[in-house]
Amino acid sequence: MRKLFVILLFLMLGTQLLVNAQGSSNFNTQAKMKAMFIYNFTKYIEWPSSYKEGTFIVGVLGESPMYDNLVEMANTKKAGVQSFEIKKYNSSSEIDKCHMLFVPKDDSGKLNEALKKVKDYSTLVITEQENLCSEGTGINFVIRNNRQKFELNKNKVEAKELKIASSLLSLAIMCPQ
């Protein structure tokens, strides 16, 4: 548990430099940081037993630098014993069963349709836009004090039959319930 705290603390503190960075490389740096957060979420969130077989699927809706960064991560990392599979969904209608679904800020208008597509799955929906907890997301990436952080909708995540480690809860900005 101490290791998790150190890793996530390092990520959160280290993001001050990336948030202050200038130019187009800033987007890619932020995407790399968010991909690392997503990887760490797999360590501290437990999916139901039926999701522990086969590949660990992370979907990305629309165009985002996150897709390439997640593919790069998938080449060297695993979610426990599961290999990663990164799927790109061009539209909400393409979304199928996945462990995580990332909805970039530019595609937030497709969020309601995406949530309907995963309503019967134990899918953790992650966005880049603040205050979407009331819409039904599980995690929202946010910037606080020039640092990358995340909001967590505990009730929504648990309603998806996902178990959250207390160490992850302690690092999250909790959404109002």
> Could you report the per-residue pLDDT of 51-106, keeping only the tens digit for each?
999 999 999 999 999 999 999 999 999 999 999 999 999 999 999 999 999 999 99
Instruction: Give bridge partners of residue 99 from the DSSP assignment.
Output: none
Structure confidence at residue 176 (pLDDT)? 84
> What's the half-sphere exposure (Cβ side, CA atoms, 13 Å) at 7?
15
**CATH code at 124?**
3.40.50.2300
Strands 100-103 and 56-61: parallel
Write out pLDDT tens, residues 115-170. Answer: 999 999 999 999 998 888 889 999 999 999 989 999 999 999 999 999 999 999 99
Q: What percent of the chain has pLDDT over 90?
A: 74
| Cα angle 35-8-86, degrees, rounded to a multiple of 5 | 20
Rounded to whole angstroms, the Cα distance separating 128 from 34 reads 9
> Whole domain around residue 82: which residue ranges?
2-174
Instruction: Give bridge partners of residue 85 from the DSSP assignment.
Output: 57
What would the two tokens of residue 92 be? 């909400």
Task: Name the domain count of the chain.
Answer: 1
